[in-house]
Amino acid sequence: MGNISPAEHSHGIDLESALDFLNTLHPGHGRTDEQHLRDEHLESPADAAMWFLEHELVHPDAGIALLDTDLARIRRVRSALREIVDSVVEGRPPDADAVHLVNAVLEQRRPTRIELDGTALRIGHRHAETPVDDALALIAEAIIEELATGRPERLRVCANDRCRWAFFDSSPTGRRRWCDMRSCGNQAKAARYRARLKEAEEHEAKHPRPN
């Protein structure tokens, strides 16, 4: 490679973390308002800044101070990405506004560029205008890249309607339905068991066995 050096810093985010970003708002249906409040993990701009830092989406030394308007944008982008993933999982076209917003986020950043470093060629990347745009673009890229060149058919939304956690099914058979067998999987099993038991009892009540 001689005089070609990689970018001084490369940051990105894996698909799992990108999906975790979507799950910072617990999406389940039929939850109470109180549960929804508890399930918003990006409650304040500081929470969002911390999330970005923890996932190395911003330079730790740069430090970012986010405003309420940033948080509002972060949440809007999160719902748009969520809509894209949901639409893929459900096999339907996504909401046009969501497509629009995700494209705007992606366009904030061109991932690769070449730079001349003295006499050497360096592979770098362009940064977006603000650290928030940069972080959101990296998250969007991870998800969109999976749709483009990965295995979008492995994207899942937990079959527990009160959970609806987004995840990637990396199981050998590709038939995972729940985010976690110990919680949602067992709940479903227990619910099916209770339903069968009830059915049997009702049947018994209607058709008592002769003594």
Name the residues that contact Zn ion, by CB under 5 A.
158, 160, 163, 165, 179, 184
Nearer to Zn ion, 78 or 156 (CB): 156
Shortest gap between Cβ of 28 and Zn ion (angstroms)? 8
Nearer to Zn ion, 135 or 163 (CB): 163
Shortest gap between Cβ of 153 and Zn ion (angstroms)? 19
Nearer to Zn ion, 108 or 160 (CB): 160
Report long-range pairs for 120-128 (Cβ below 8 Å, ≥24 apart): 120/3, 120/4, 120/5, 121/3, 121/4, 122/4, 122/5, 122/6, 122/7, 122/8, 123/4, 123/5, 123/6, 123/7, 124/7, 124/8, 125/7, 125/10
Shortest gap between Cβ of 117 and Zn ion (angstroms)? 48
Shortest gap between Cβ of 36 and Zn ion (angstroms)? 16
The answer to whether the CB of 125 falls within 8 A of the CB of 96 is: no
What single-letter DSSP state applies at residue 81?
A: H
Nearer to Zn ion, 78 or 164 (CB): 164
Shortest gap between Cβ of 162 and Zn ion (angstroms)? 8
Nearer to Zn ion, 137 or 158 (CB): 158
Distance, in Å, from the CA atom of 4 to the CA atom of 117, rounded to the nearest integer, reads 9
The answer to whether the CB of 160 falls within 8 A of the CB of 184 is: yes
